[in-house]
Structure 1
Amino acid sequence: MTPKLDCIGLVVADMGASLAFYRRLGFDVPLEHDTEPHVEAALPGGMRFTWDTVDTIRSFYPEWTKPTGGNNVGLAFRCEDVDKTYQELVDAGYTGEKEPWDAFWGQRYACVEDPDGNIVDLFAPL
């Protein structure tokens, strides 16, 4: 069988903080999962998005350390209104990395940080 991408996962320092951020971007994850060591959410098309705490990763990979020198992952969310979504996240206390702009490739674009410092892109066609 040919391998098939099935899951995108993040390693997180604080499960509740990470889930709160991603709920604002449309993930339907129940609040009771905020204290779990591993959480999964179904994505359209059958893929999954997962979150694992640092302790969970270290339970099977004890020498794991957080990557340094850049983003750990690239995530981009298509939005109805990039400016509104960006402002709502910044108003909620998340760090705006790059305010909305009209990108030369034909999209309205902005960047915010999730609670673990991953840059999350927001975009919409112009």
Structure 2
Amino acid sequence: MTATFNGTGLIVSDLARSLAFYRRLGLAIPAAADAEPHVEVVLPGGQRLLFDTEDTIRSFDPAWAPASAGQGRISLAFACEDPAEVDAVHEDLVAAGYESHLAPWDAFWGQRYASIVDPDGNTVDLYAPLAATVPASS
């Protein structure tokens, strides 16, 4: 028997607020999900992103406590089509009131890269390959 990874779970303090954040990043989450205690979103390739409220977790694990503020332990990554989209998505999220962790920059590993903080303190990375440089003609 072999276990197969197929999902990432997020424990959220305000489900509707968290779902609104991830909708802005393009995830198809029905509005009715805002009132549920557990939400699953199937991602391209079959992986799932799972959302549970703190109350849901405490219903089966009464001793559970959230990590201290600012100590998110996971980071999710969203690929963008190009560097301009990294900038635009970052700008849209900041304008919507979400905190920027790293403003867009050209990373040494060849990507336009930025990080936003989701409503529960987890970082969400935005990235796209930098345009290939064309050698100057002689």
Alignment RMSD (CA, Å):
1.0
Q: 2:127 aligns with which of 108, 114, 123?
A: 123
Query: Residue 44 of structure 1 aligns to a residue in which SS?
Result: coil
Query: Residue 21 of structure 1 aligns to a residue in which SS?
Result: helix
Query: Residue 16 of structure 2 aligns to a residue in which SS?
Result: helix
1:107-118 counterparts in 2 under 5 A?
A: 107-118=111-122
Q: Tell me the TM-score normalized by structure 2.
A: 0.88
1:38-117 counterparts in 2 under 5 A?
A: 38-68=38-68, 70-80=71-81, 81-117=85-121
What's the % identity of the aligned pairs? 57
8 Å CA contact retained: 2:12, 2:52: yes
Query: Residue 45 of structure 2 aligns to a residue in which SS?
Result: helix
The match for 2:17 is 17
Matches of 2:28 and 2:11, distance apart in 1: 19
Matches of 2:50 and 2:72, distance apart in 1: 17
Larger radius of gyration: 2
- Counterpart check, 1:31 vs 2:31: yes
Query: Residue 93 of structure 2 aligns to a residue in which SS?
Result: helix
8 Å CA contact retained: 2:74, 2:122: yes
The runs of 5 or more residues in structure 1 that have no matched partner are: none
**Aligned residue-pair number:** 126
Q: Tell me the TM-score normalized by structure 1.
A: 0.96
- For residues 31-88 of structure 1, what are the alpha-carbon distances to aligned partners after superposition, in whole Å with 9 as ceiling and x for unaligned? 1110110000111111111100000001111111112373221111101210000000
The runs of 5 or more residues in structure 2 that have no matched partner are: 131-138
